[in-house]
A = this chain, B = another copy of it.
Amino acid sequence: MAKETLLLTIGVLGGTGKEGKGLAYRWAKAGYQVLIGSRYSEKAVTAASEIMELLEGESSVVGTTNQEAAGQANIVVVTVPYSGHRELLENVREALNGKLVIDTTVPLVPPKVSKVQMPPAGSAAQEAKEILGENVEVVAAFQNVSYEYLLGDEDIACDVLVTGSSKKARQEALTLVEAAGLVGWDAGPIENSVVVEGLTSVLININKQYGSTHAGIKITGAQKPSGS
C-alpha cells in the first residue's frame, strides 16, 4: 500500500475509446498507475482488462467511473469526442480542483471535419479552462497522433505539440508525452491550442488530398536537450 501511494496515478476519462486505451497502455507500460474512466464502469473494467492482457506484466490498469477516476488520479487526461466534452467536464469539475488536466479533444464539426471550426472560447482546451476555472491547469496535447499506433510498440512519426495554461503544466505534460514514447514540444500558451487542435483538420485534409491515412508532423531545425 505504501508503495502505491508513491506512484503517480493518471486518470484517463472516456478511456474506453481507442485514444484512451492507447495512451493508458503506453503509460501503464512506463510504470504509471492508470485509472480508466467511463460513464459505465463495466465498459471501463473491460477496457482495463484488455490492456492488462496486452501488457502481460505487473502494470496497474483499473477500470472505474469517470467520477472515480477524476477523484483518485493526480493527473487527468480527457479523451472524449467533442460532443461529450462540456458535459463530462461539468460533471467532474469538483473532483478536478487543483489538478492538471490534459485535454486531447479536437473540436471537429461533422461532416466538415477537414475545416477548422473552433468553439467560442477559441479552442477545446480554452473551453475546458473556462469550465474548470482558475484552480485547474489545462494543457492541450496528443490531438494529431494516430491512435491506432499507440496500442503497438512501433515508433510513431508524429511529434506532440503541447500548449497550456502555464509553463510548469506544459513541462509536466511533456514528461507524460515522453513516457508514452513520443517526442513532445512546448508550443506555448493555451491561446496557441487553436493551432494544435486545428492541425488535425489540416492533416485530415492532407489524408484526403494525397490518399494517405496517417499524416502527421515533425518539428525540424530544433533539438531537445535530452535528445528524445
Please report A residues at the B interface, Cβ cutoff 8 Å: 114-118, 146, 157-158, 161, 163, 185-189, 191-192, 194-196, 198-199, 201-203, 205-207, 209-210, 212-225
For this complex, 22 residue pairs linking A to B, each with C-beta atoms less than 8 Å apart, are A116-B188, A116-B194, A116-B195, A157-B220, A158-B220, A161-B202, A186-B205, A187-B202, A192-B198, A192-B201, A194-B194, A195-B198, A199-B199, A213-B221, A215-B221, A216-B219, A216-B220, A216-B221, A217-B219, A217-B220, A218-B218, A218-B220
Distance, CA A187 to CA B127, complexed state (A) = 25
Distance, CA A219 to CA B219, complexed state (A) = 9
List residues of chain B with CB within 8 A of the CB of A206: 185-187, 219, 222
Additional 6 contacts, C-beta under 8 A, given A206-B219, A210-B225: A115-B192, A117-B191, A195-B195, A195-B202, A199-B199, A216-B221
Distance to closest chain B CB from A192 (angstroms): 5
List residues of chain B with CB within 8 A of the CB of A115: 188-189, 191-192
Pairs A-B, 10 closest by C-beta atoms = A188-B205, A212-B222, A195-B198, A215-B222, A157-B220, A214-B221, A187-B202, A216-B220, A186-B209, A210-B222
Known: A157-B221, A218-B217, A223-B212. A195 touches B205 (CB 8 A): no
Known: A161-B202, A221-B215. A194 touches B195 (CB 8 A): yes
How many copies of the polypeptide does the oligomer hold?
2
List residues of chain B with CB within 8 A of the CB of A221: 146, 157-158, 212-216
Known: A157-B220, A222-B212. A195 touches B191 (CB 8 A): no
Distance, CA A196 to CA B194, complexed state (A) = 11
Distance to closest chain B CB from A154 (angstroms): 12
List residues of chain B with CB within 8 A of the CB of A222: 206-207, 210, 212, 214-215
List residues of chain B with CB within 8 A of the CB of A114: 188-189
Known: A217-B218, A218-B220. A194 touches B198 (CB 8 A): yes
